[in-house]
Structure 1
Amino acid sequence: MKDKTIDYILRATWQAVSRMYNEEASKYGATMATGFALLSIDKDKGTPSTSLGPKMGMEATSLTRTLKSMEEKGLIIRKKNPEDGRGVLIYLTEFGKEKRDLSKKTVLKFNESVKQTISEEKLQHFIEVAEKINELIQDKNIFNYTENPEKESTNIK
């Protein structure tokens, strides 16, 4: 991936990871989004539906479709939040907990495979770089133009 832009490398890598997880999940009639949702829902206390989207980095419409599908498959149930009658808590069913364990094993297997191939030092550098990129984006330190942005040039080759 020499001479590729950083964003290209990130996107291509994420697409490969996403494709891998979706291929694995399809063996069980699921998707990566379903597995991620299963892992994001507190298995004992449930999770407010309003906090699930931000936790997963998912848009509301995509999350709504995913949750509807999960409910139809018997993975989750929705209950009114006893502390806030307007809110809804998402709980895993027993079947959902079984599938959550499967999702967890899948993620841990991926992590273990990477750790067996890449040194601890390189992984630590990767994590530090990813955290720094996230920080730059969250702090809006990338596109904070002081002049007219059209005057800025890009040198992408």
Structure 2
Amino acid sequence: MIKGHLFRKIAVVGISAVIGFTSLSLGHAPKAEAAKVTTASKVISIGDNYLGVKYKLGAKSGISTAFDCSSFTQYVFKKAGISLPRTSAAQAKKGKAVSRKNLKKGDLVFFSTPSSGKRVGHVGIYAGNNKILHTYGKGGVKFTSLGNSYWNSHYLSAKRVL
């Protein structure tokens, strides 16, 4: 009888600890907001695994041996369960517009390039702390400061797809 009582007490304490831990880890954020934060962090974490993978203009969808900017964002978001179109211009038509001052981790950020004129020619993922995760030119997939003179002057817009 004592063993049964002790077992029930341990089980109740264990379940309470799990419930309490879950409540503490989520804080007071609504479930939907907590899920967005988790998905955004997942997107950055997935992308981080490909740091240094070479850049190749026109890289094929679904491969991870080389990326161009939009095949990278498409690949990373797909791994996180979000479907995106193949090109940066098509990706710029998805989601909800976000002002630069309201960027959140996981937002897509769009830029012009010399070959695109004033239209979308490049996409990256806002990684927080004024950094973007993207691939372009030498060095392949990397984090770059959004304050970098080139990217700062070629910034066009951002979209939230999460």
On whether the aligned pair clears a TM of 0.5, the verdict is no
Higher relative contact order (CA 8 A, sep 6+): 2
Which has the larger Rg?
2
Q: TM-score, normalised by structure 1?
A: 0.25
Structure 1 or 2: larger helix share? 1
Q: TM-score, normalised by structure 2?
A: 0.25
Structure 1 or 2: larger strand share? 2
